[in-house]
């Protein structure tokens, strides 16, 4: 894990310990909190058109809300990983490798199959 990510995990653990919150930081509670924070991120985009959503960071107020929710999601994800002993970057690298095997890159576009359609190459 990168030292920066590990340092953030330590800061989050110290923050929780200083407030005696570790007792509440069970995998179940952290997973639920992560889900709630992800839903709050979705809420920002809920009624935007695709074009509006692509420009959300150009509005300082909306950009601040998006950044706050992203930070909340990441904070709970890092705490969840800490609680279960998961190295988030190692898990992500392994998942990318599995996906590269499961979903090979499109070699040539076929007119009967749109690129990125999710269908496997023959």
- Give the CATH number of domain 26-93; options: 1.10.10.10, 3.40.50.720, 1.10.287.1080, 3.40.50.300: 1.10.287.1080
Report whether 121 contacts 104 (CB < 8 A). Answer: yes
Mean of pLDDT values over 92-110: 89
Locate 39 and state its tokens. Answer: 């839903």
pLDDT of residue 114: 65
Report whether 75 contacts 16 (CB < 8 A). Answer: no
Mean of pLDDT values over 8-17: 95
pLDDT of residue 119: 56
Statement: the pTM of the whole predicted model exceeds 0.85? no
The continuous run of DSSP H or E covering 58 comes out as none
pLDDT of residue 116: 66
């Amino acid at each position: 894990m990168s030292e920066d990510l590990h340092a953030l995990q330590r800061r989050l653990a110290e923050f929780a310990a200083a407030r005696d919150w570790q007792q509440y930081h069970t995998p179940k509670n952290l997973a639920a909190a992560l889900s709630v924070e992800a839903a709050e991120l979705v809420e920002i985009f809920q009624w935007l058109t695709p074009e509006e959503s692509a420009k959300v960071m150009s509005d300082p107020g909306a950009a601040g809300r998006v950044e706050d929710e992203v930070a909340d999601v990441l904070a709970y994800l890092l705490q969840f990983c800490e609680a279960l002993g998961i190295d988030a970057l190692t898990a992500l690298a392994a998942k990318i490798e599995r996906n590269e095997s499961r979903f090979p890159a499109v070699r040539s576009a076929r007119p009967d199959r749109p690129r990125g359609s999710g269908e496997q190459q023959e």
